[in-house]
Protein backbone atom coordinates (compact mmCIF):
# COMPACT_ATOMS: atom_id res chain seq x y z
CA UNK A 1 0.00 0.00 0.00
CA UNK A 2 2.68 2.47 1.00
CA UNK A 3 4.75 1.34 -1.96
CA UNK A 4 1.84 1.96 -4.26
CA UNK A 5 1.24 5.44 -2.92
CA UNK A 6 4.91 6.25 -3.24
CA UNK A 7 4.86 5.01 -6.82
CA UNK A 8 1.77 7.05 -7.60
CA UNK A 9 3.35 10.08 -5.98
CA UNK A 10 6.47 9.64 -8.07
CA UNK A 11 4.40 9.27 -11.22
CA UNK A 12 2.47 12.42 -10.38
CA UNK A 13 5.65 14.35 -9.70
CA UNK A 14 7.07 13.12 -12.99
CA UNK A 15 4.02 14.12 -14.98
CA UNK A 16 3.83 17.44 -13.19
CA UNK A 17 7.47 18.09 -14.08
CA UNK A 18 7.00 17.24 -17.75
CA UNK A 19 3.87 19.35 -17.83
CA UNK A 20 5.84 22.28 -16.51
CA UNK A 21 8.29 21.80 -19.41
CA UNK A 22 5.45 21.96 -21.87
CA UNK A 23 4.31 25.17 -20.25
CA UNK A 24 7.54 26.93 -21.01
CA UNK A 25 7.69 25.45 -24.48
CA UNK A 26 4.14 26.16 -25.52
CA UNK A 27 3.58 29.13 -23.21
CA UNK A 28 0.01 28.00 -22.80
CA UNK A 29 -1.06 27.95 -19.16
CA UNK A 30 -4.65 26.81 -19.74
CA UNK A 31 -3.40 23.61 -21.34
CA UNK A 32 -1.22 22.87 -18.31
CA UNK A 33 -4.10 23.47 -15.94
CA UNK A 34 -6.25 21.00 -17.80
CA UNK A 35 -3.52 18.37 -17.74
CA UNK A 36 -2.75 18.80 -14.07
CA UNK A 37 -6.41 18.33 -13.32
CA UNK A 38 -6.28 15.10 -15.30
CA UNK A 39 -3.49 13.86 -13.06
CA UNK A 40 -5.60 14.65 -10.01
CA UNK A 41 -8.51 12.82 -11.54
CA UNK A 42 -6.36 9.77 -12.20
CA UNK A 43 -4.88 9.69 -8.71
CA UNK A 44 -8.20 10.14 -6.97
CA UNK A 45 -9.92 7.56 -9.14
CA UNK A 46 -7.08 5.06 -8.61
CA UNK A 47 -7.20 5.67 -4.86
CA UNK A 48 -10.98 5.34 -4.72
CA UNK A 49 -10.83 2.21 -6.85
CA UNK A 50 -8.15 0.73 -4.62
CA UNK A 51 -10.19 1.42 -1.47
CA UNK A 52 -13.41 -0.01 -2.84
CA UNK A 53 -11.97 -3.00 -4.62
CA UNK A 54 -9.98 -4.23 -1.61
CA UNK A 55 -13.37 -4.56 0.08
CA UNK A 56 -14.83 -6.78 -2.62
CA UNK A 57 -14.94 -10.31 -1.13
CA UNK A 58 -13.11 -13.14 -2.96
CA UNK A 59 -16.57 -14.62 -3.47
CA UNK A 60 -17.24 -11.96 -6.12
CA UNK A 61 -13.83 -11.67 -7.75
CA UNK A 62 -14.89 -13.19 -11.05
CA UNK A 63 -17.91 -10.88 -11.42
CA UNK A 64 -15.60 -8.03 -10.37
CA UNK A 65 -13.23 -8.77 -13.22
CA UNK A 66 -16.08 -9.08 -15.71
CA UNK A 67 -17.52 -5.81 -14.42
CA UNK A 68 -14.33 -3.76 -14.52
CA UNK A 69 -13.74 -5.17 -17.97
CA UNK A 70 -17.13 -3.88 -19.10
CA UNK A 71 -16.48 -0.52 -17.43
CA UNK A 72 -13.08 -0.08 -19.03
CA UNK A 73 -14.76 -0.58 -22.39
CA UNK A 74 -15.58 3.08 -21.87
CA UNK A 75 -12.89 3.45 -24.54
CA UNK A 76 -15.99 3.10 -26.71
CA UNK A 77 -16.45 6.81 -26.07
CA UNK A 78 -13.11 7.63 -27.67
CA UNK A 79 -13.75 5.15 -30.49
CA UNK A 80 -17.08 6.77 -31.34
CA UNK A 81 -15.45 10.17 -31.80
CA UNK A 82 -12.79 8.74 -34.11
CA UNK A 83 -15.37 6.83 -36.16
CA UNK A 84 -17.57 9.87 -36.61
CA UNK A 85 -15.25 12.89 -36.67
CA UNK A 86 -14.00 14.59 -39.80
CA UNK A 87 -10.93 12.47 -40.43
CA UNK A 88 -9.56 10.52 -43.41
CA UNK A 89 -11.71 7.54 -44.37
CA UNK A 90 -9.27 4.86 -43.18
CA UNK A 91 -9.14 6.48 -39.73
CA UNK A 92 -12.94 6.49 -39.58
CA UNK A 93 -12.83 2.79 -40.44
CA UNK A 94 -10.27 2.13 -37.71
CA UNK A 95 -12.66 3.95 -35.40
CA UNK A 96 -15.48 1.71 -36.58
CA UNK A 97 -13.50 -1.43 -35.75
CA UNK A 98 -12.68 0.07 -32.35
CA UNK A 99 -16.37 0.85 -31.76
CA UNK A 100 -17.29 -2.74 -32.59
CA UNK A 101 -14.57 -4.19 -30.31
CA UNK A 102 -15.51 -1.95 -27.39
CA UNK A 103 -19.23 -2.59 -27.88
CA UNK A 104 -18.61 -6.33 -27.63
CA UNK A 105 -17.19 -5.69 -24.17
CA UNK A 106 -19.85 -3.24 -23.05
CA UNK A 107 -22.79 -5.40 -24.10
CA UNK A 108 -21.24 -8.79 -23.37
CA UNK A 109 -19.55 -7.63 -20.18
CA UNK A 110 -22.62 -6.24 -18.45
CA UNK A 111 -24.82 -9.13 -19.62
CA UNK A 112 -22.41 -11.77 -18.34
CA UNK A 113 -21.82 -9.96 -15.05
CA UNK A 114 -25.55 -9.85 -14.45
CA UNK A 115 -25.86 -13.53 -15.37
CA UNK A 116 -23.27 -14.41 -12.75
CA UNK A 117 -24.61 -12.18 -10.00
CA UNK A 118 -28.11 -13.55 -10.56
CA UNK A 119 -26.83 -16.98 -9.50
CA UNK A 120 -25.54 -15.94 -6.08
CA UNK A 121 -28.31 -16.81 -3.64
CA UNK A 122 -28.52 -17.06 0.12
CA UNK A 123 -29.75 -20.16 1.93
CA UNK A 124 -33.52 -20.22 1.71
CA UNK A 125 -35.33 -19.80 5.00
CA UNK A 126 -36.37 -23.22 6.35
CA UNK A 127 -39.89 -24.11 5.32
Query: Contacts with another protein in 12-71 (CB under 8 A)?
Result: 15, 18-19, 21-22, 25-26, 31, 34-35, 38, 41-42, 45-46, 48-50, 52-71
The site string for another protein over 66-95 (x = CB under 8 A, - otherwise) reads: xxxxxxxxxxxxxxxxxxxxxx---xxxxx
Binding residues among 100-119 for another protein as defined by CB under 8 A:
100-119
Whether residue 75 contacts residue 102, with contact meaning beta carbons closer than 8 Å, is answered with: yes
Residue 12 C-beta: closest distance to another protein, Å = 12
Residue 13 C-beta: closest distance to another protein, Å = 14
User: How far is it, in rounded angstroms, from Cα 26 to Cα 19?
Assistant: 10
Specify the residue, 13 or 71, whose C-beta has the smaller distance to another protein.
71
| ∠ CA 40-42-47, rounded to 5° | 95
Q: Work out the widest C-alpha separation in the chain, in whole angstroms.
A: 75
Residue 10 C-beta: closest distance to another protein, Å = 15
Specify the residue, 6 or 62, whose C-beta has the smaller distance to another protein.
62
Among 39, 42, 5, 47, which residue's Cα sits nearest to residue 22? 39
Per-position b or e across 23-39, b if 16+ CB within 10 A of its CB? beeeeeeeebeeebeeb
Residue 95 C-beta: closest distance to another protein, Å = 6
Amino acid sequence: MTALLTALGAAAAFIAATTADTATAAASTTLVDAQIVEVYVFLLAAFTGFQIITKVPPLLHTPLMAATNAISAISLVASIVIAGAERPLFINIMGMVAVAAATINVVGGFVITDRMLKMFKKTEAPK
